[in-house]
Each structure stands twice: as C-alpha cells, then as structure tokens.
Amino acid sequence: MTFWILAPVMVAAALGILFVRKAVHAALLLAVVMTSLAVLYAVLEAPFLFAVQIIVYTGAILMLFLFVLMLVGVDASDSVVETIRGQRVLAALGGLLLGALLVVALSQVSLGTAVGLESANEGGNIQQLANILFSRYVFAFEATSALLITAAIGAMVLAHRERLTPKEGQAALAARRMRDYAETGKHPGPLPAPGVYARHNAVDTPALLPDGTASELSVNRVLAARGTVRSAPALADDIDEVRKQLGVDPTEMPERSGKSSAPATTTEDVK
Amino acid sequence: MTQYVVLSAILFTIGCVGVLTRRNAIVVFMCVELMLNACNLAFVAFAKQHGNLDGQVAAFFVMVVAAAEVVVGLAIIMTIFRTRRSASVDDASLLKY
Amino acid sequence: MDHVTIPVVDPGSAEGVLSLLWLVIALPLAGAAVLLVGGPLAGARAKGAMDRWGPWLACTAVGWSFLLSLAMFFALLGHDAEERQVGQHLFTWFEAGSLHVGMDLLYDQLSALFLLLITGVGFLIHVYSVGYMAHDARRLRFFGYLNLFVAAMLVLVLSANFLGLFLGWEGVGLASYLLIGFWQHKHSAAAAAKKAFVINRVGDIGLSLAVAVMFATFGTTDFTTISAVAGEASQGTLNALGLLLLLAACGKSAQVPLQAWLLDAMEGPTPVSALIHAATMVTAGVYLITRSNFIYEHTPLAQTAVVVVATVTLLWGAILGCAKDDIKKALAGSTMSQIGYMMLAAGLGPAGYPFAIFHLLTHGFFKANMFLGAGSVMHGMDDDVDMRHYGALRTYMPVTFLTFAMGYLAIIGFPLFSGFWSKDKIIETALAENTVVGLCALLGAGITGFYMTRLMLMTFFGDKRWEPGVHPHESPQVMTIPLIVLAALSVLGGVMIIGSWIVGWLEPVTGHAVHPEPPIAPILVTLLVVAVVAVGVAAAWFLIGRRDIPREAPAEVSFATRAARSDLYGDAINDVLVVQPGMGLARGLTTFDRAGVDGVVEGGSAAVGGISGTLRRVQNGFVRSYALSLLGGALLVVLALLAVNLG
C-alpha cells in the first residue's frame, strides 16, 4: 500500500528534476525522492538503511549540494536552448528505449514469493548487518574507509587556494582606503546598512539617503542581481496612509521629497 | 517484489535522461545520485526477495562510495566554477579534436 | 690437347718457419688497423707524431711480411718436391649444417711466388709512396689502405678454399675502390672508383656463383677436395664453373669485356696504379685461373673461352696504348695487353701455366718499375700526365730515365731482359697450340714495341715541350732507390727460366705438360719475335721520333686513332648495352613505384587520414555526447543479454 502511494510521488518528483530550471528546486525534489526511498527501505525490512538514507543522503549529501549551490550562485539556472544538436531527442529516445527494455525484461521473469528477512533479521537487523559487515565484508569495509579518507583529502586539496600575496594588515588596509578616497573619492567608511533611514528594516530594502533617494550600496549585490530589491519609498505609502488617518499632513513630511527618484513599485521576485 | 524493481528501473532511466539533458553540473550530479539510489532500491528489494542481508550491505557500500564521490565531485565543480565562472558542463569542452 | 694427370692439392702440416704463415697476412692487416683506426682516434699532437712514423709503420709491416715470405720460400726450397704443399688451419670460419668453412691457409709453390711478388714489390711501392705522398695531409689513411690492399691480396693467394679466396677477392675490390677514389675531391676520381667497383661487381657475381655451384656440386670449397673429385662432376657443371671463373677473372684482371675500369683507375695516386698493375688486383684473375687448373683441365670449352678473351684483350690493350697521350693511361693499356698474354698462357693449360706465372712475375717487376718511374716523372712535372708536354727529360731525370729504360727494354722483349724470356715462351707455346692465336700474340708483341717506344720517345727524347714554369728535377732517394731495385729485377727477372726452373717448380701445382711439337724450331720463334718487335720499334722511330710532336693532340686523325683514343668505344658499348637499358629499367621502376606502389600506399593513407578527419569530429568535447554514446553501449549490452536469455 505504502509503495503504491509513494511510487507515483517518486516518479513525479524524479521527472520534476528533469524539467525544473532552478537547481535549488531540483535539489528539493531529489530530497522528496530520497525520503520516499527511505520509507520504502523501512517497508522492505531495512531499518538501518532507512536511518542511513535519511541521515547520510538526505541530511548530509543533499545539504552539501545545497551548500555548493549557495556558493556557486542561486542564479545559475539552465537556459532552455539545447546547444548540442539532437542531444535531447536522442537522450529521450535512448531513455525510453532503456526503460522499455528494462521493464520488458523484468516482466519476463517471475520472482515468485519473497523469502522475507524474518530469519535473516533474527536478533535485530543492525546486529545481523554488523555481523556480515565485519566478517565477510571486512576487507571491503576497510577499503571504503581508505576511500573516504582519500576523498576527504582530495576535496581539501581541490578546495584549497594558495595565498600568493601576504595577508593585508589593518594598517595597510586603512592606508589603502584613504588612498582610494583621495584618488577616486571612494567612501572610506563601511557600506551603508540596509533599512537605515527607511521605514523598513529588511535586508532587501535599500537605505534612504538624506535627500530621500535609495542607496544602491546598502543592498547585497546578489539581491540586486536577482532583482528582489524592495522599493523603500513605496513601502512608505502605508505609513503615509496611517498618518493621513491620524490627521497629519503628509506633505509636511521631509522624507517625502525624494520619493519621485526612487522606484515607485515593488519589484519582487521577477524571474 | 517486481514492482520495486520496476520502480528502480524507471528511476534509473529518469536519472539517465537527466544526466544526458541537464547542463548544470550540480543537477547532473543529482541525477547521478538518483541513479545510484535507484540501484540501492533494487538491492534492498532483492535482499528481501532472497532473504539474506548481502543486498543491504551492498546498498550500504554504494552509499559510502556515493558520499565520497559527491565530496570530490562537488569540490571539482567548485574549482571549475572558480576559474570559469560557470557550472555548465558544456562550457568545459576544450578537450576535443 | 694432350691430357695429363691433374695434380691434387694435398698439403702437409706447417712446421718450423712455415708455421708463421698467418703472420704474413696479419702484419699488414695490423698495420692497416693501427693506421685506419688509430689515425682518426689520435689527438692533434699524437696525430702529428703518427704522421711521421705511420708511413714507416706501414712499410715495416709489409717489409717483415716480405722477409717472412723469403724465409718461408727458402724453407720450402729445402723440402722435397712432393712435400712443398703446406696447409695451416687457423680457425673455423663458419659452419651451418653440413657446411664447414675453415679459415685455412695453403702455402705451395704457386702461392710462394705470389707471396714474394706481392710483399716484395708491395714493399718497394710502400717505400716509394713515403716520398711520393709526403705532402698529402691524409697520408695515414693512404698507407692504411695500402696495407689493407696488400693484406687482402695475401688472403686471396693464401686461402685454401674458394670462399677464403672470395674474401680476399672482395677485400682487394674494396681497397682498390678506396685507393682509386683516394682523391675523392676530384669528381673524376670518385667516378673512376665507382666505375671500378661496379665493373668488378660483375666479375664478383661470377665468382660467387661459381662458389655456390661448387657448394652445390662438391659440398665444399676446399681446393683439396675439389681438386680430387673435380673430374667426377658433369661436363655441364664444369663448363659453367670454368666460364663463371673466367667472368670473375675478366672483372679483376680487366679483360674484355670488363676492361673499361682499368684506364679510368689511373685517377688514383700513381703508387696505387703500380700496386694494382704489378703486385695485386689484376694478377688475381691469372692466379684464379691458374689455381683452378683442376677445373679447367676438364673443360676445354672454358679453356678456349679463356684463350679467345685473352687474345682479344692483348690486342685491345696494345691498340689503346698506341693512341693515349696520358702516360699512365698508355701504361694501363700495356698492362691490359700484358695481362692478356698471361691469360693466354693460362688458357693453354699445363704447358702455359708456368709461363703465365713467369710473365706475371717479370711483368710485376718491370710494370711496377715503369709506373713508379711515370710517377717520378709526374712528380717532377707538377703532376702533368700529358706526354705531349714532356720531352727531353733524360738529362733532367737521369735515374728515372735509366730505370725506366730498363723496364722499357724488358717489356718490349729486348733480348736477355726479363720480358724477353717470358713473352717469348708464351708466344712459342701459343704458336705450338694454335697458329692463329700465336700470330695474334706475335702481332701484339710488335705493337708493344711500337707504343712503348712511342712513350719513351715522347717522354725522354725530342724537344722540350714543357708547360711554362715547370722545372723538372730528379725525385728524392726514397723514390729512386725502389726504382733502382725494380730496374735490377726487370733486367734479371729472366733467371727463373734458366734450366726451366720455374716449370719444374710449378709442376706439382699445375701439372706436367707434354709439350706439343712446335711447327717451327724454338730458336726461329725467338728470332721472329725479336724481328717483329724491331719492326714495331722502328715504326715508332719513323712515325714519332723523327717528327716534331705537336703540343696539342691533332684533331684530324684516322678513324683507327680516334677509336683507340676513345678506348675502342668500350665505354660506348657498355653504355648502349648495359647502362641505357639499365637506366630505362630503373626509370620505369621508379615511375611504377611512384604511380603504382606509392599511389596505393599514399592513397590508402590519404583515405585513412580523410576518414579520421571526419571521424574525429565525434570527439566534440561535450561530456554529454560521450554519455550519450555510453547509453547507446549500455542499450546494446542489455539488448544482447535479452537476446541471449529470451532467444
């Protein structure tokens, strides 16, 4: 019963991985498939694998995927145009053929009634697994430990970046900032914080400058690139509304003077 | 048990097509993971079918190897991204005729 | 032809001084090795010292060989006539299956005489070369080659089987190539060396085929065995062997039709010419035929061929000698002619063999003498070889003139000089065997008198016709002393015939001859020869001696003179018969190779290249394309599994 509920979900989620454009969504759909698999493991009398599937796969590996996605940039989404001629058609054709072949082949064999794992799991699934793992498969187990260490070292080596110049000290940093200010007029202080002088304190809301315009420097570049920056003056509209209801004349408010130069509408989440 | 194995085959095929069509290296990796998981499902199903735990041990090993592979693979993707500012597998196509 | 018992080669073992036989070869060989290997390896200072003592080392090596030969000769004299064949087994050269070839030496009466000639005259030529080549920068190499030449010739005459003889034969060919082309910077010298080498190869094919036929027929190449069983082979085999050996002898001894190289070989330094003509090389053919007497005695056909070739050559060479203005080429023509006499004698069977060898020895003396004399003249005339630029040299070069005159008198057969005895005997034997051949030989003697007198007159008598700035002078003593020694030998060489000593000496080797009754008395033959020679000399005196000799060769001459000047069209005949067809064949093969073979090969490679160029597009660098082909492979595997399991 569980199978028939989960199987369509899994197939749908897997197909989703093929079609969604954003990598994050694909990762989440994969999480669905993996969790469902974990449940199927439980049904198939593999409680240890059930736990490992959730902890290692869904917990560790998928999180690693998401982490890398964050580093690479969430905006990295596939374009719809296929660059290699005929690749999609051939891939679909090959996939269908492979699936059909496998299904046809499997339908040709009759597996008969399952033996079940009652006797094999006697004394507990984990204990029995451990028995096998540390007796018959002990060499393979040791080999995997070597493999894991190698992988860890390899990842470290790959991710490591050699520092080519000496680390800049605080004094040098300050001197450089002052020099930049003298030569290009770049502001020597820290970047303005978002939400300051605004009527909103969210990170995607730019700070307002004294003349009422929005400071682009106060918002993260990634947010600007994604186009999810809110318009601070637009958010002020409802405050004006409240003031009006309170009987305060909004035209007397000094912060309104720069409103015209700021984005008038909220431009949230434009894909 | 047949239905588990059939599901495994379908998931494997979907993963396969994903590897062939998606261009984002990370998504390609996810599809590889999907294929590995499909195999694991077949292992576990057959373990129950035959009534011994070797299939489950095999699935366990597959997980370990997959973890190692993901670690190294993602590190490689990171390195490529750092130098090329792109995670597309098609951009890394200089090794050709 | 009266058949005689053919002697069998059956050597005893070498003892006493005769056991040093191998040393005769080893000494010049070691000298060659030291000079040819040490010379290039030596540093600058060592090279300077070596340049001083190297030539003397070469002389010493050959000189010791000569002393050894002399000692062994006297040792051999001390033996009984039946025990004068001595063999020495050095080592097994190679063996394959039933084939055993030993490095065996045979020292008998024949090789003893050759040893004396080669090492004796060779030694004198070496000494002469020390003076002649004193200013040549590459004289170390020259003396190395000379030693190699002598060593190869010694191997040739000492070997106890035909394969060892072949080894020496090829060594002589190599050394002659190196020496004729010694001044390789001259194009003509390089071409002459190549010509000599190539024409010699033709003869070598004859010898190698003969050796192969011997292996096939007798299963060995030892003189001992073959001389014992030669008569058992079929007549056809023996004819083939005789003709093949004759071909070989023609190549080495410059007999018609392989004569063309000899005149061009004059491009080499003069001592080399002397060595080739007197002591080594051209005598090898005569040696070969004499040594193979046990084969020729069974094949009258080949013997007749030898006589015909020899007669043609002796006249051919004599005619060439009449027309050449180059002193060395005139001498070379005379060599051809004289070798023809030897071959003629050798072709006459046991009655002629001793006289062939006798003439070979005397010729070795007087021809070495005259060549070295010619070299001395050239030395004084700034290497000018044109006799039309000589004249009146007898007072400027008294020693050269006197020694040359001894050689001249010897070669024309002036009574009591060495050539008189040897040539007279050959003509006498030839007349006894065949009147036509005898008359041809007689005619040759007359022509010899003519052209040698012409040479003498043009060189030493008459007016001065020198090039401006030439100051003739006598050569240094190191050159004149060998000339004097050789002149003495030219005069006295005839002593070997006293009491028919040489006939008796060689009889165990060449067989006892039953002399046929001559048509006229020997004394009449002698008188006839002297008369014919006198006619030739007189003709030369009237035609040349009494007239002024133009400095340039006259262009308006008779057809006969033109023909003789161009070597009786020997080169033209070779060109038409061999070179042009060969070139045509080579061109055709080249065209076929380019169009046919290369077309197939290169077309195939071009096709493969084109296909590869197209196929490599598959390597497009996209990992997803590769994955797709991977999927295709997986599909095929699954299909195959299904087909096997369900089928």
Q: What is the CATH number of the domain that holds B24?
A: 1.10.287.3510
Best B12, B14, B17, B20 member to test C by mutation, with max C CBs in 10 Å, is B20
Best A25, A28, A29, A72 member to test B by mutation, with max B CBs in 10 Å, is A72
Kindly state whether C635 is in contact with chain B, defined as any CB-CB distance less than 8 angstroms.
no
State the 10-residue block means of pLDDT for chain A, 271 residues long.
91 92 90 94 91 90 89 65 82 91 83 78 86 92 93 89 85 90 85 66 76 77 77 67 74 49 45 39
How far apart are alpha carbons C510 and C516 in whole angstroms? 17
How far apart are alpha carbons C365 and B53 in whole angstroms? 110
How far is C-alpha C552 from the chain's CA centre? Answer: 32
- Binding-face residues of B in 46-75 toward A, CB within 8 A: 47-54, 56-57, 59-61, 63-72, 74-75
What chain B residue is nearest to A114 in terms of C-alpha separation? Answer: B49
The answer to whether the beta carbons of residues A130 and A141 sit under 8 Å apart is no
How far apart are alpha carbons C367 and C274 in whole angstroms? 7
Number of domains in chain B: 1
The partner residues of C12 in beta bridges, in order of sequence, read C86
Kindly state whether residue B91 falls inside one of the protein's structural domains.
no
- Binding-face residues of B in 21-50 toward A, CB within 8 A: 21-24, 26-27, 29-31, 33-34, 37, 40-41, 44-45, 47-50
> What was the pLDDT predicted at A268?
44
Q: Give per-residue pLDDT as tens, B62-73.
A: 999 999 999 999
SS3 assignment, position C104: strand
CB contact under 8 A, C620 and A84: yes
The answer on pLDDT for B12 being more than 90 is: yes
CB contact under 8 A, B90 and C624: yes
Domain with CATH 1.20.120.1200 in chain A: 1-73
**Residue listed under structure tokens 């290699």:** A84
Has the ipTM of the complex gone over 0.85? yes
> What was the pLDDT predicted at A258?
44
Best C624, C626, C641 member to test B by mutation, with max B CBs in 10 Å, is C624
**E strand or H helix at C12:** strand C12-13
Which of the residues in chain C have pLDDT under 70?
A: 1-6, 515-516, 647
Measured between beta carbons, the chain B residues lying within 8 angstroms of C617 are 97
What confidence category does residue B24 fall into, taking pLDDT thresholds of 50, 70 and 90?
Answer: confident
> What was the pLDDT predicted at C4?
52
- Give the distance from residue A91's alpha carbon to the nearest chain C alpha carbon, in angstroms: 7
Measured between beta carbons, the chain C residues lying within 8 angstroms of B23 are 624
- Give the distance from residue C628's alpha carbon to the nearest chain A alpha carbon, in angstroms: 7
> What was the pLDDT predicted at A85?
81
How far apart are alpha carbons C289 and C208 in whole angstroms? 15
Best A36, A71, A117, A134 member to test B by mutation, with max B CBs in 10 Å, is A117
Measured between beta carbons, the chain A residues lying within 8 angstroms of B48 are 44-46, 114-117
Strands (E) in C153-234, as ranges, are none
Residue C427: C-alpha distances to residues B60, C438, C501, C610 (Å): 114, 6, 19, 78
| Beta-strand pair A214-215/A207-208 | antiparallel
The answer to whether the beta carbons of residues C86 and C9 sit under 8 Å apart is no
Strands (E) in A87-220, as ranges, are 207-208, 214-215
- The alpha carbon torsion through C548, C549, C552, C558 (nearest 10 deg) reads 100
- Give the distance from residue B47's alpha carbon to the nearest chain C alpha carbon, in angstroms: 23
Phi-psi region of C12 (alpha: psi -120 to 50; beta: other; left: phi over 0): beta
The answer to whether the beta carbons of residues C73 and C505 sit under 8 Å apart is no
- Give the distance from residue C642's alpha carbon to the nearest chain A alpha carbon, in angstroms: 7
Structure tokens at A242: 């409240």
Q: Give per-residue pLDDT as tens, C418-453.
A: 888 888 889 988 888 888 998 999 999 999 999 999
- Give the distance from residue C610's alpha carbon to the nearest chain A alpha carbon, in angstroms: 23
Kindly state whether residue B97 falls inside one of the protein's structural domains.
no
**Residue listed under structure tokens 């009398």:** A45
Residue C132: C-alpha distances to residues C185, C363, C378 (Å): 19, 22, 10
Structure tokens at A82: 């296929």
Domain that holds residue B39: 2-84
Kindly state whether residue B64 falls inside one of the protein's structural domains.
yes
How far apart are alpha carbons C617 and C210 in whole angstroms? 63
How far apart are alpha carbons C642 and C646 in whole angstroms? 6
CATH T-level fold of A1-73: Four Helix Bundle (Hemerythrin (Met), subunit A) (1.20.120)
Secondary structure, 3-state, C540-589: HHHHHHCCCCCCCCCCCCCHHHHHHHCHHHHHHHHHHHHHHHHHHHHHHH
> What was the pLDDT predicted at C311?
92
CB contact under 8 A, C624 and A84: yes
Neighbours of chain B (3+ CB pairs under 8 A): A, C
Measured between beta carbons, the chain A residues lying within 8 angstroms of C638 are 98, 101-102, 105
CB contact under 8 A, A84 and C625: yes
> What was the pLDDT predicted at C3?
46
> What was the pLDDT predicted at C225?
87
| Rounded (5°) CA angle C217-C222-C223 | 100
The answer on pLDDT for B94 being more than 90 is: no
User: Across the interface, which of B19, B23, B94 has its CB nearest the CB of C621?
Assistant: B94
User: Across the interface, which of C620, C622, C634 has its CB nearest the CB of A98?
Assistant: C634
How far apart are alpha carbons C613 and A2 in whole angstroms? 56
What's the order of all strands across the beta sheet hosting C12-13?
A: C12-13, C86-96, C99-107
User: Across the interface, which of A91, A95, A101 has its CB nearest the CB of C642?
Assistant: A101
Burial class (CB in 10 A: 0-12, 13-18, 19+), C48: exposed
**The pTM of the whole model exceeds 0.80:** no
Best B12, B19, B24, B95 member to test C by mutation, with max C CBs in 10 Å, is B19
Kindly state whether residue B96 falls inside one of the protein's structural domains.
no
CA dihedral sign, ordered A178, A179, A182, A185: negative
| Rounded (5°) CA angle C575-C580-C581 | 125
Neighbours of C634 (CB within 10 A): 14
Measured between beta carbons, the chain B residues lying within 8 angstroms of A30 are 30, 33-34
**Residue listed under structure tokens 């330094």:** C269
Closest listed residue to residue A80, CA positions, set A19, A24, A14: A19
What chain B residue is nearest to A134 in terms of C-alpha separation? Answer: B57
User: Across the interface, which of A37, A106, A116 has its CB nearest the CB of B6?
Assistant: A106
User: Across the interface, which of C617, C621, C624 has its CB nearest the CB of B20?
Assistant: C624
Neighbours of chain C (3+ CB pairs under 8 A): A, B
CB contact under 8 A, A102 and B26: no
CB contact under 8 A, B37 and A159: no
